[in-house]
Amino acid sequence: MEENMASSEGERPRRALSTYKAVFIAIGAAIVGLGLLWLAGSVDAIKGNPGLQSVFNNLGSALITGMALVVLWELVSKRSFAREVIEVTRSAADIERSGITHAGTEYLRDADWDGLFSRVQKLDIFFAYGHTWRGSNLTNLRALARKKGCRIRVYLPDVEDSDTVRQLATRIKGTPEKMIDLIVEARSHFESLYEPGGAEISVFYRPGELLFSAYRFDSTAVITLFAHRKERGGVPTIVCQEPGTLYSFIKLDLDAVNRQSRQVFPQPVVVGNADS
């Protein structure tokens, strides 16, 4: 902080000196311009030569006008332009650092779902039930499920946790029973995608409030936020890539979700004691 303050304080005298120099030069040039105009209108030798008089008039006018523009640029426009450049550069650097490649409010169109599915090896999905998204990407999901060596992990709300179900039911203006049906239907949907020799598919239940939905396609993540209004409509959608800070946040959050979840498909194999 002290270094920044010292640097800023050191810059001010230099900026002031540069401004004063520009103003003094402009004033000197303007005086020269006025002198040329006076000569063009007062000296008989110049007045008697229309061509020479025109040169003096034009040169004098150009000096006065040009120096007025220099002063205006130095005192106002230059600094405004510099501030704008700095703001744009800072914004671009922030976006690049975050890894954001796209943002919008139409999650079914803002992300290139077809392109993401075409090259993904490991897909993590974290949502309430995703009925519309699953329907829109059914062909892609089926194609991925048939690919050997790929992996699909799905995290759904825990239907056995009453607080989780109640919070989601309140959000969608439905009953807890309806919420459970939607979640179970989503689980069954992913279970039905499994094919022997195809992708590894796992479904998990996680207790706790759902703060956003996330889809991680290898090194690209898509997140959708929730709206506080009850009516249906667009929701903020952000696409980001590794190694951006936002992608890192999503990765760490999904790792935490994984630790908080219990696997429900396929059923984990429980190995008993040797003497049981």
Lowest mean pLDDT among 124-128, 131-135, 170-174, 252-256: 170-174
Q: What is the pLDDT of residue 144?
A: 97
**Span 9-54, pLDDT tens digits:** 444 555 555 556 666 666 666 677 677 666 766 666 666 667 666 7
Q: Quick one: pLDDT band at residue 235, thresholds 50, 70, 90? A: confident
Cis peptide before 157 (omega within 30 of 0): no
| Sign, CA torsion 39/45/47/50 | negative
Pairing of strands 200-206, 237-241: unpaired
**Span 92-139, pLDDT tens digits:** 677 788 889 999 999 899 899 999 999 999 999 999 999 999 999 999
In sequence order, the 6+-apart residues with CB closer than 8 A to the CB of 50 are: none
Q: What is the pLDDT of residue 220?
A: 97
Q: Residue 242 carries which DSSP code?
A: T
User: Percent of the chain having pLDDT more than 70?
Assistant: 63
**Residue 213, pLDDT above cutoff 70:** yes
The class level of CATH for 103-265 reads alpha beta
**Residue 2, pLDDT above cutoff 50:** no
138-151 average pLDDT score: 97
Q: So where are the chain's domains?
A: 2-98, 103-265
Q: Quick one: pLDDT band at residue 56, thresholds 50, 70, 90? A: low
Which of 93, 127, 97 is CA-nearest to residue 246? 97
Cis peptide before 268 (omega within 30 of 0): no
CB 102 within 8 Å of CB 71: no
**C-alpha 19 chain-centroid distance:** 38
Q: What is the largest CA-CA distance in the chain?
A: 125
Measured between alpha carbons, how far is 122 from 156 in angstroms, rounded to an integer? 17
